[in-house]
Chains A and B, each alone.
Chain A
């Protein structure tokens, strides 16, 4: 068990890190190596991106509900994308849905969620002074920032940003003549994603290393909070799958710029037959979804971790089936790699392959169901405190269940024929991964805000935010299933050209109104977030009476996290409402020898081992 803490590694005194030398503004807030600052940087970037992504959805939802609407009032913002008659340009419509998807999936729910909470919680919950490599961590954030700047720049290109859907299937994304967004917009998209992938890898490697190597005394793997388990699995998924997206993007760059034919074959466009032959657009789809599917679990696994922690703490009850939760996350992680082609049932892929992927896909429903049941059993006979975080976590479970169930239908190749690329799919994944992960992220912010800023967020605003968002999300996505069952295809600028899709105008208005309200309700949260940062009520060290290690740190925690020695861990993180104990929680750093009244016989046996754990000496020297 070798542990290297950065601080120690750099030859500082072993304890007493709160007495820090004054850091300059840049090294403290901008190019910070401190995991907590980096987490905040990720969070605030994520929030800004979420605002942009959300507002984009408002624009295209308005277009879908009111195809005849005069959008001239948006002209000051969108400029030439609103034409003379006040209509949204249909190329720009596609660019909007593409950017909405890209931003939400990668910048908000990957960087904003994993980046924020892995960075914040891993060192604090495993008992480390910082990440394994603070420098890599900083680089990871700034690469993400750079990726964001490039993607943002692409919004202002004269021909618009990438517009072939967030999945950027070639040939559409490869040929500028096929779509104006496939010119410079696509180039910037690819460059941005390549940098984003580098950022994600640097982050993930750091997460895995820190979890495996920097745990404090006594923090064996079976005492890790579920958050840490989820971040570990997420990071592994990212490390193994993001490089595949990188290769897909690289080959696409070659096809676009250097005349290769990896994805292109037999194309006649704008009166010209292209010379490319022998490539396969299906190859791209395999490579893309080899990341793309694990990506949805990269998004949802941290959400599981956060909800587990929040639900257990606020139920004042151990998470039900701790081991089953870990095993099901492990199962989901493993299966996540081998189900990618269920996105491709009707692409012309060999139907036999479709059968295999259908089988594997439906297996993934089992561990997912186990998770849902375990959350509910955690609530059962609990003593529930509905903090805003708890409400959002319960909302997350509800969305995950409701949205996940339709996955059983979509994972069935025969049924997917009709539903593929319809609004049924859109409704499904927005509930199960979009809204669920988003809710967990919000829950995490409410829950760990005191640890980030030493202040509390306003809970009344939190309740209002929850109720509008929760009802709003269901009002958007339940009706959207109906639209999907009626066969409405996605990425349509309008449906009125088809008689078969000329129904449901009223339902689309309901969806849009609900979506607009939900998006704007998020400004309550943003107000609350920034207001509380400066003016919120001062937090106590452990405001939720939680067991995990981060709550043993002082309120104003500096670089190094614990002023003295890092606490030693003796027990699992879920000793809530233990029979016999005076309080309804026993933090992880309380030894069994201090709690004779609540110990089980097996735990009494562990008292003998406590000395052993306390005497562990870490070797802080970095081996050559």
Chain B
């Protein structure tokens, strides 16, 4: 590729110099001819060529845009996998149709007039200063079209951004440099409090769960995959730890910024499971992906998380198999206030102390921690 660029660049430079030297010859010739033209602005010999050029350009542009659109549209995103996404897609393509018509129409007039009314000594321009009727028409027509688009947009927008249904599955997603982390409320269905001052990557509490709140005992998190159920409203509670991020799920037509200090939200219903998409696209490798779309630093382009849309039963099964943060990081038990220790201990797996020595040492550490507090 680099060679192609290099060759093009060289070709280009050579041509430029060729053109420049050629032009200088012409300039010199003109100088030799002597005398100033009375009207330097009068149409020169290139006028017709430029006029025709504009029209030819436009014809080629129409062909080119049409072909390239048809050719490249196969690489656009597949049909939205979410309910609201199909609606915004519809309005997107609807608006695209309108503006494409306007694009072709207005440019056609522009270039056609440029060609038709190119300079001729036999003709004089019309002295046509204004026409109120015309002005009113072309103020009103866009105004009416705009009103239509605004109304449709307002309705769709308020539906999408309205409150999530009561039964929505609430999942928290947090952006950090440079990864996403998700948190589920666990079997109690309630998120424990979290506080950024309690965040601690070293001790396995990157989300700052507050273990003084017993609701956080069963909260579990994941930093590689977000699982959501198919066909059920999902409400993302979106948070950021350090700088702005933005949750972008291209296939779901979901996007919302993650703002430090101000949780945001976005709810949607995904109605095509990952497996269904694999089958539909005939691509066993397919996965939904989550990206970041608010510049957040050097690895902004690498904030990838996989989204798995499961059938509801599978989703419940997956959830049950997940281990709470506390279970995975038993050291966090020291953060639990004395009177809640007993409840917290339920989430600490003390599996067969005799069986595995390393586990054992953890268990003793935990026991020691319990005793000292």
**Chain A residues in contact with chain B, CB under 8 A?**
62, 65-66, 69-70, 90-91, 94, 164-165, 169-172, 175, 178-179, 264-269, 271, 273, 277-282, 313-318, 320-324, 346-348, 351, 354-355, 358-359, 362-363, 365-366, 369-370, 372-377, 379-387, 391, 394, 397-398, 401-402, 405-406, 408-409, 412-415, 417-422, 450, 456, 458-461, 463-464, 467, 470-471, 474, 478-479, 482, 485-487, 489-495, 497-501, 503-504, 507, 509, 512-513, 516-517, 520, 523-524, 527, 535, 537-540, 543-546, 574, 576-579, 584
Contacts and interface: CB of A to CB of B under 8 A. Distances in A.
A405 B286 CA distance: 34
A273 B65 contact: no
Contacts of B257: 346-348
A273 B197 contact: yes
A499 B27 CA distance: 55
Interface stretch (B114-122, B225-233, B354-362): B114-122
Interface stretch (B92-100, B325-333, B339-347): B92-100
B75 to A, nearest CB: 4
A414 B160 contact: yes
A523 B26 contact: no
11 contacts: A265-B261, A267-B242, A280-B261, A282-B259, A376-B106, A383-B123, A384-B118, A401-B106, A418-B85, A497-B302, A538-B36
Nearest to A354: B157
B125 A524 contact: no
Contacts of A62: 5
Given A382-B117, A464-B19, A418 B12 contact: no
Which 10 residue pairs spanning A and B have beta carbons closest together? A265-B261, A348-B264, A351-B161, A577-B125, A544-B41, A317-B125, A543-B40, A386-B50, A381-B126, A414-B156
Contacts of B110: 375-376, 379, 394, 397-398, 401
A279 B261 contact: yes
A485 to B, nearest CB: 5
- The residue in A70, A499, A574 that gathers the most chain B C-beta atoms within 10 A of its C-beta is A499
Given A282-B259, A383-B120, A545 B43 contact: no
A344 to B, nearest CB: 9
A281 B255 contact: no
Nearest to A67: B301
A408 B149 contact: yes
B369 interface: no
Nearest to B11: A517
Given A383-B117, A463-B46, 7 more contacts: A90-B299, A179-B243, A324-B135, A355-B154, A366-B146, A380-B128, A546-B41
Interface residues of B, number: 133
B72 A482 contact: yes
B17 to A, nearest CB: 10
Contacts of A351: 157-158, 161-162
B54 interface: yes
B255 A527 contact: no
B241 interface: yes
Contacts of B161: 351, 354
A322 B19 contact: no
Contact of B287 (A372, A383, A499): A499
Contacts of A313: 41
Given A267-B260, A402-B103, A382 B75 contact: no
Contacts of B134: 377
A559 to B, nearest CB: 26
A90 B298 CA distance: 6
A391 B1 contact: no
Contact of A478 (B39, B65, B128, B149): B65
Contact of B157 (A355, A381, A420): A355
A386 B46 contact: yes
A383 B119 contact: yes
A493 B296 CA distance: 12
Contacts of A584: 124-125
A164 B244 CA distance: 11
A71 to B, nearest CB: 9
B293 interface: yes
A442 B73 CA distance: 34
Interface of B: 1-2, 4-5, 8-9, 12-13, 16, 19-20, 23, 26-27, 30-31, 36, 38-44, 46-47, 50-51, 53-54, 57, 61, 64-65, 68-69, 72-73, 75-77, 85, 87-88, 91-92, 95-96, 98-99, 102-103, 106-107, 109-111, 113-114, 117-120, 123-131, 134-135, 138-139, 142-143, 146, 149-150, 153-154, 156-158, 160-162, 177, 196-197, 199-202, 208, 238, 241-244, 246, 248, 250-251, 253-257, 259-262, 264, 285-287, 289, 291-302, 304
A537 B30 CA distance: 9
Contacts of A370: 135, 138-139, 142
A70 B2 contact: yes
B2 A405 contact: no
A540 B127 contact: no
Given A69-B1, A383-B119, A414-B88, A348 B135 contact: no
Nearest to B72: A482
Contacts of A384: 47, 51, 114, 117-119
Given A266-B260, A269-B177, A537 B1 contact: no
A513 B139 CA distance: 39
A470 B38 CA distance: 30
Contact of B41 (A489, A543, A577): A543
A474 B61 contact: yes
A418 B68 contact: no
Nearest to B61: A474
Contact of A516 (B5, B126, B197): B5
Contacts of B76: 482, 485-486
A323 B132 CA distance: 10
Contact of A369 (B61, B113, B138, B294): B138
A372 B156 CA distance: 30
B117 A461 contact: no
A448 to B, nearest CB: 13
A351 B61 CA distance: 39
A190 to B, nearest CB: 17
A499 to B, nearest CB: 6
Contacts of B304: 497-498
Given A281-B244, A322-B130, A359-B150, A266 B196 contact: yes
Contacts of A316: 119, 124-125
Nearest to A459: B44
Contacts of B286: 499
A384 B197 CA distance: 69
A406 B113 CA distance: 24
A280 B302 contact: no
A172 B149 contact: no
B242 A269 contact: yes
Given A365-B142, A489-B291, A268 B19 contact: no
A579 B242 CA distance: 69
A461 B293 contact: no
Given A318-B127, A461-B23, A493 B300 contact: yes
A406 B99 contact: yes
Contact of B289 (A355, A494, A500): A500
A184 B114 CA distance: 51
A358 B157 CA distance: 10
Given A366-B146, A402-B107, A414 B157 contact: yes
B125 A482 contact: no
- The residue in B177, B208, B257 that gathers the most chain A C-beta atoms within 10 A of its C-beta is B257
- The residue in B30, B40, B44, B87 that gathers the most chain A C-beta atoms within 10 A of its C-beta is B40
Contacts of A415: 88, 91-92, 95, 153
A513 B229 CA distance: 44
A308 B323 CA distance: 68
A402 B262 CA distance: 37
A373 B138 contact: yes
A457 to B, nearest CB: 11
Given A324-B135, A373-B138, A417-B160, A405 B102 contact: yes
